[in-house]
């Protein structure tokens, strides 16, 4: 006789992705929230703006994601009141790593990417594991469609095992590539779909674009 066990976590699916450019960063995530084979919402944003030019995108358990984002927003407001200034993307990256590590014995079930503009005006992307280990990377993807996005970005962005010249890293090219990656992931991952939210971060601020994905 088997007994069902209780789990405090629920995987609500979704895919997030971030790419660092020479003077910009692009963050993208689908808007589907699921549990099992049920779609709970088709319009749930996975984006969290943490500063003037800093965005975190998170997939995983929605309750943990919201709790984590609220914790970071509160710590950022405390920093602003104390210093009169906003956190840099480097400082926010460290704060996110510390926050995840603090909960390492009962981790947030959240899969995060963080992006922004650094002090030199360059795009910065940080990739995390569940307990706060992180590194700055050219791009990062996580969530249910990670295995479909990463090989494409390895090939096109990092130009691994290719001899042809890499393409120019313009904002328009990166946004187009992000759309292609999510269309591909959405065709193969039932937890990725409905619409794509694309956030472009530049020295002038943050702009947002929506792109339709499959709805089945």
Percent pLDDT > 70 in the chain is 98
Compute CA distances 126 → 6, 116, 195, whole Å: 33, 9, 24
CA distance 133 to 185: 26
Give the C-alpha distances (Å, rounded to integers) separating 139 from 76, 158, 177, 205: 24, 9, 12, 20
CA geometry: angle 196, 112, 22, nearest 5 deg: 75
Question: Of 108, 79, 96, nearest to 9 (Cα)?
Answer: 108
Residue 168 has pLDDT above 90, yes or no: no
For residue 157, what are the CA distances in angstroms to 111, 136, 182? Answer: 22, 15, 15
Q: How far is CA 147 from CA 116, 183, 186, in A?
A: 24, 14, 12
Query: For residue 128, what pLDDT is reported?
Result: 97
- Residue 3's pLDDT band (boundaries 50, 70, 90)? low
| pTM for the full predicted model | 0.93
pLDDT at residue 2 tops 60: no
The CA distance from 179 to 82, in Å, is: 40
Pairing of strands 33-35, 25-30: unpaired
Mean pLDDT of the chain: 93
Q: What is the pLDDT of residues 29-55, one digit of tens each?
A: 999 999 999 999 999 999 999 988 999
Name the percent of the chain lying above pLDDT 90.
87
The packing angle between helices 171-188 and 146-156, to 10°, is 140
112 touches 57 (CB < 8 A): yes
Of 216, 168, 89, which is closest to residue 72 (Cα–Cα)?
89
pLDDT tens per residue across span 137-156: 999 999 999 999 999 999 98
Q: Is the dihedral of CA 145, 18, 193, 170 positive or negative?
A: negative
Where residue 167 falls among pLDDT bands split at 50, 70, 90? Answer: confident
**Contact present, 30 and 186 (Cβ < 8 Å):** yes
Which alpha helices (DSSP H) does 141-170 contain, by range? 146-156
* Residue whose entry in the numeric block shows the structure tokens 């943050």: 206
pLDDT band at 4 (very low <50, low <70, confident <90, very high): low
């Amino acid at each position: 006789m088997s007994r069902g066990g209780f789990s405090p976590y629920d995987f609500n699916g979704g895919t997030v992705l971030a790419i660092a450019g020479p003077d910009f960063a692009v963050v993208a995530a689908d808007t589907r929230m699921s549990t099992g084979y049920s779609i709970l919402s088709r319009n749930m944003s996975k984006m969290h703006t943490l500063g003037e030019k800093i965005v975190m995108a998170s997939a995983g358990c929605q309750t943990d994601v919201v709790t984590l984002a609220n914790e970071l927003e509160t710590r950022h407001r405390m920093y602003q009141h104390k210093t009169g200034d906003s956190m840099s993307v480097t400082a926010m990256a460290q704060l996110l790593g510390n926050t995840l590590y603090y909960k390492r014995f009962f981790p947030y079930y959240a899969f995060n990417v963080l992006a922004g503009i650094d002090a030199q005006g360059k795009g910065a992307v940080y990739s995390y594991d569940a307990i706060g280990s992180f590194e700055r990377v050219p791009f990062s993807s996580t969530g249910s469609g990670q295995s479909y996005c990463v090989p494409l970005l390895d090939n096109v962005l990092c130009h691994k095992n290719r001899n042809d010249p890499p393409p120019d890293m313009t904002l328009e090219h990166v946004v187009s590539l992000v759309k292609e990656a999510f269309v591909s992931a959405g065709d193969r991952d039932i937890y990725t779909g409905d619409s794509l939210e694309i956030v472009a971060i530049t020295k002038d601020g943050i702009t947002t674009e929506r792109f339709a994905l499959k709805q089945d």
